[in-house]
């Protein structure tokens, strides 16, 4: 199957490494121009933009701050002219046990919600407004987690709750704006071998992470990229509002 995304500008958050990097690479291979969002990894993001070509560019924003998401979207539109597809991939998973002080626990909760849900929601808002203003179709792909459906470890209550909120947000966008040509999708990975997963593996061990998967190996970022590229192509538009599970058979619903 040949997928041609030439002429499309795609904003990918958390694009400098891991899942975001793999997605961005596959999208660029299909011809898209990528707006690569990063927070701290400036060298990695700029190097990746150079490698991807297609006039791809890196954009910095700290999505743990309330006003950064809106400013990010506006900068991308200003520099690239338009955005046809938004991929909310940036996320954090902060370990916060119930034994933590109330102040520390709520601080971790608020930061997790800001990055994983509030900033993602603002980017969705900006994208929807942009699509409607241009009277153009658009797609939003939100990277959630199996944790949204099956829950997570006790230390990651905020992570699971934030990812569940992202699923509900996506379904609501799909229902509300489908007739305006706006489609929204969820991709829900299970445990993925990334830098972000290192803390979990150090805490619980790799065998724990591998223990409930049905396949022979843990999911890697490259395993998600083809699916996201397929959704971005428009060939899955009649699945708007749906969740695509990529979790090596560790959770089925």
The domains of the chain are located at 9-245
CA atoms within 13 A on the CB side of 112: 22
**Residue of 15, 110, 31, 24 whose CA lies nearest to 72:** 15
Confidence band, pLDDT 50/70/90 cuts, at residue 97:
very high
The residue among 118 and 218 whose pLDDT is bigger is 118
Domain 9-245 has CATH 3.40.50.720: yes
Tokens standing for 18? 């891991």
Q: What is the per-residue pLDDT for 46?
A: 98
The residue ranges of DSSP E strands in 8-115, in sequence order, are 9-12, 33-38, 57-60, 85-88
**Which helix (H) or strand (E) segment is 49 a member of?**
helix 42-52
d(CA 67, CA 8): 26
Q: What is the per-residue pLDDT for 205?
A: 62
Q: What is the per-residue pLDDT for 66?
A: 96
**Residue of 113, 68, 114, 115 whose CA lies nearest to 91:** 115
pLDDT at 204 over 90: no
Q: What is the mean pLDDT of the chain?
A: 94
Q: What is the per-residue pLDDT for 196?
A: 65
Is residue 214 within 8 A of residue 249, CB to CB? The reply is yes
Q: What is the per-residue pLDDT for 98?
A: 97
pTM, whole model, 2 decimals? 0.94
pLDDT at 253 over 70: yes
Mean predicted confidence (pLDDT) in 204-230? 83
Confidence band, pLDDT 50/70/90 cuts, at residue 210:
low
Q: Collapsing DSSP states into helix, strand and coil, what is residue 136?
A: coil
Confidence band, pLDDT 50/70/90 cuts, at residue 25:
very high
Tokens standing for 219? 């999911």
Mean predicted confidence (pLDDT) in 103-123? 98
The residue among 156 and 192 whose pLDDT is bigger is 156
| Known active-site residue 159 | yes
Tens digit of pLDDT for each residue in 61-72?
A: 999 999 999 999
Q: What is the per-residue pLDDT for 173?
A: 98
End-to-end CA distance of the chain: 28
Among candidate residues 159, 177, 204, 251, the one labeled active-site is 159
Q: What is the per-residue pLDDT for 131?
A: 98
Mean predicted confidence (pLDDT) in 181-194? 92
Percent of the chain with pLDDT over 70: 93
pLDDT at 31 over 80: yes
């Amino acid at each position: 199957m040949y997928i041609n995304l030439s002429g499309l500008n795609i904003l990918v958050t958390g694009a400098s490494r891991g899942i975001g990097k793999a997605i961005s690479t596959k999208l660029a291979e299909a011809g898209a121009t990528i707006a690569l969002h990063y927070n701290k990894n400036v060298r990695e993001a700029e190097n990746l933009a150079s490698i991807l070509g297609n006039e791809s560019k890196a954009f910095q924003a700290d999505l743990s701050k309330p006003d950064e998401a809106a400013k990010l979207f506006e900068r991308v539109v200003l520099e690239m002219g338009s955005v046809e597809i938004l991929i909310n991939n940036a996320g954090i998973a902060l370990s916060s046990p119930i034994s933590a002080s109330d102040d520390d626990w709520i601080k971790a909760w608020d930061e997790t919600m800001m990055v994983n849900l509030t900033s993602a929601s603002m980017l969705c808002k900006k994208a929807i407004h942009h699509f409607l203003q241009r009277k153009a179709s658009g797609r939003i792909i939100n990277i959630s987690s199996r944790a949204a459906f099956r829950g997570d470890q006790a230390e990651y209550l905020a992570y699971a709750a934030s990812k569940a909120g992202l699923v509900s947000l996506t379904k609501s966008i799909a229902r509300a704006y489908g007739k305006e040509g706006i489609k929204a999708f969820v991709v829900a990975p299970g445990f993925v071998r990334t830098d972000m997963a290192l803390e979990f593996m150090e805490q619980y061990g790799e065998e724990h992470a591998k223990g409930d998967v049905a396949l022979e190996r843990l999911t890697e970022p490259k395993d998600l990229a083809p699916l996201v590229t397929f959704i971005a192509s428009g060939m899955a538009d009649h699945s708007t509002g749906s969740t695509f599970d990529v979790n090596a058979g560790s959770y089925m619903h």
